[in-house]
Structure 1
Amino acid sequence: MKKVLDYLLSCLYLLYFGLVLCIFHVLQVIAFNVFGKEAHKKVVDWMNAAIAYGWYLTGSRIHYQGQPNLPTDRPIIFVANHQSMFDISPIIWFLRRHTPIFVSKIELAKGTPGVSYNLRKSGAALIDRKDAKQALSEIARLGKLIQQTNRSAVIFPEGTRSRSAIGEMKPFMPGGVITLLKRAPNALVVPIAIRGTGRFNPKGLFPLTSFTQMSWTVLPGIEPAGKAPDEVVRLSQEAIGKELGLAVAS
């Protein structure tokens, strides 16, 4: 019975999800070209709120726990574990005052209404994982951008979705965070522990697992000053692993 319910509620949500992407794609284009970047950002914020709160259609629930007094007068590098494509929307919505800009694989910049347009217009670091030089150049550009604007970057240092749904995280690769810190030396590094999204869509978009509990926990910031960049990455992963009770895969 539960499996049948998963299929039925997945169909309902995916219809809703497709409509949200298409409608907000049009709104983004209008906002960006007529009203400018700030209007475009507000449309993107609400698109991601609609995506995330739409999960209630599957009986699932989301919980966000933030950190009080995160600075807005300096850049932030948010470092998170990575379970699913659905990790992203609550970060954009709940941390919207920090204007999170993502490190993303370049393939996502085309083909997905709403999402691809935002990646191209937001300043995201669109990296080719087969071209290390290009990837580091893009991440460096993003680091420079957040240093100049006091915005935030979001990076998933596992590099790809992990097996965290079954109790493991991939080791964090330090290169991206190190590059961001070189270009944004004033940045605060803030870990985010994401729980449950891997269970929500373990096999892709269909079927989703109904009645899943998902959470995003923003952990205390790590001051990079006086620490080696590798140590900052290690401390970030340790903080996330401790919060989630996860081991690091060898």
Structure 2
Amino acid sequence: MFILYIFLSIVIWLEVLICFTVYIVIQAILFITTAAFDKHRKIMHYNTSILCTVVLALCPLIRVKYTGRENIDRSKPSVIVMNHQSIIDILLVFTLYKPAKMIAKKVLSLVPFVGWNLFMSGHIFIDRASRKSQIEAIRRMDDILIDGDSLMIFPEGTRTKDGEIAEYKKGAFRSACNSGTSVLPVVIDGAFQALPRKGVILNGFHKIKISILPPITVEKGSPTAGLALKCHDIMSAELERMRLAF
């Protein structure tokens, strides 16, 4: 059975490579042709959403179940907060079809095609070892929200080591508090089991559950530590509920 999973994983990664190759060409064309009238890069975001939807649909070992889609308000900006279980989470957040800018590690900017795409789409790079880079990233995050765009963040800062939700970094919530932008909590369960932190082989069939919770209203100037703790508690409780429900 393990040999079968290896074979299917190879097929899936080849599918991803083919899809991404076609996608990056389309993204480059969209970047050139839509820059004059789509400053928020929404068209490029939806193209990414389509890619992620197709990739997940083509994966025979993963099925995704969503609850709470009605809590997504695409008419106004929000800070989408997700727990980070796996690299699969990047695909999952785009299948919400809510245009938003992502905070990415600066090292990704050096990866051919991936870095170019992140740059063209207006996502933010951050060097965690540089205080200057962190300050600049926060400034850009503030500007994005003020300009009417949304943000997507993984406040744990890295993928989970054990499937549980680690402590949230309060700095991730600073822009929400600075601007009074609501937070949209999105809880993922099952991605860690499907593809753990250091794994590349999908080890069996997995159902991934995504719960989109009601938005958390944020008062402008409210303390970041309090919001981070509140969001962590709500999402941890929801993760526990999701596991008990299935």
TM range (shorter): 0.7 to 0.9
Corresponding residue to 1:88 among 75, 90, 96: 90
**Contact 2:100/2:152, CA 8 A, preserved across alignment:** yes
Amino acid at match of 1:176: A
**Contact 1:178/1:229, CA 8 A, preserved across alignment:** yes
Question: 2:166 matched to which residue of 1?
Answer: 170
**2:204 corresponds to 1:237:** no
**TM-score, length-normalised on structure 1?**
0.85
- Residue 34 of structure 1 deviates from its aligned partner by 2.4
Query: Aligned partners of 1:179, 1:72: CA distance in 2, in Å?
Result: 19
Give unmatched runs, 5+ long, in structure 2.
Answer: 36-40, 242-246
Question: 1:152 matched to which residue of 2?
Answer: 150
Question: 1:161 matched to which residue of 2?
Answer: 159
The share of aligned pairs that are identical, in percent, is: 24
**Contact 1:103/1:139, CA 8 A, preserved across alignment:** no
Number of aligned residues: 235
Q: RMSD of the TM alignment (CA)?
A: 2.1
Matches within 5 A, 1:22-37: 22-36=21-35, 37=41
Greater mean deviation of Cα atoms: 186-195 or 131-140: 131-140
- Residue 75 of structure 1 deviates from its aligned partner by 1.8
- Residue 205 of structure 1 deviates from its aligned partner by 5.3
**Contact 2:101/2:151, CA 8 A, preserved across alignment:** yes
Give unmatched runs, 5+ long, in structure 1.
Answer: none
Q: Deviations along 1:64-83, whole A, 9 cap, x unmatched?
A: 22342543443201111111
**2:206 corresponds to 1:202:** no
**3-state SS of 2:196 partner:** coil
Give the 3 Å change call, closer, same or farther, for CA 74–173 of structure 1 in structure 2.
same
Matches within 5 A, 1:44-193: 44-55=48-59, 57=60, 59-94=61-96, 96=97, 98-113=98-113, 115-149=114-148, 151-165=149-163, 168-182=164-178, 185-193=179-187
**3-state SS of 1:245 partner:** helix
Question: 1:222 matched to which residue of 2?
Answer: 216
Give the 3 Å change call, closer, same or farther, for CA 214–82 of structure 1 in structure 2.
same
**Contact 1:74/1:147, CA 8 A, preserved across alignment:** no
**TM-score, length-normalised on structure 2?**
0.87
Q: Deviations along 1:133-191, whole A, 9 cap, x unmatched?
A: 31232132122112212x210111111111242xx222101012114431xx1311111
Which ranges of 4 or more aligned residues in structure 1 deviate by more than 4 Å?
none
**3-state SS of 1:215 partner:** strand
Query: Aligned partners of 1:162, 1:29: CA distance in 2, in Å?
Result: 33
Greater mean deviation of Cα atoms: 43-52 or 78-87: 43-52
**3-state SS of 1:193 partner:** strand
Query: Aligned partners of 1:234, 1:45: CA distance in 2, in Å?
Result: 30
- Residue 32 of structure 1 deviates from its aligned partner by 1.1
Give the 3 Å change call, closer, same or farther, for CA 206–74 of structure 1 in structure 2.
closer
- Residue 125 of structure 1 deviates from its aligned partner by 1.7
Query: Aligned partners of 2:196, 2:42: CA distance in 1, in Å?
Result: 35
Query: Aligned partners of 2:194, 2:224: CA distance in 1, in Å?
Result: 33
Query: Aligned partners of 1:81, 1:28: CA distance in 2, in Å?
Result: 27
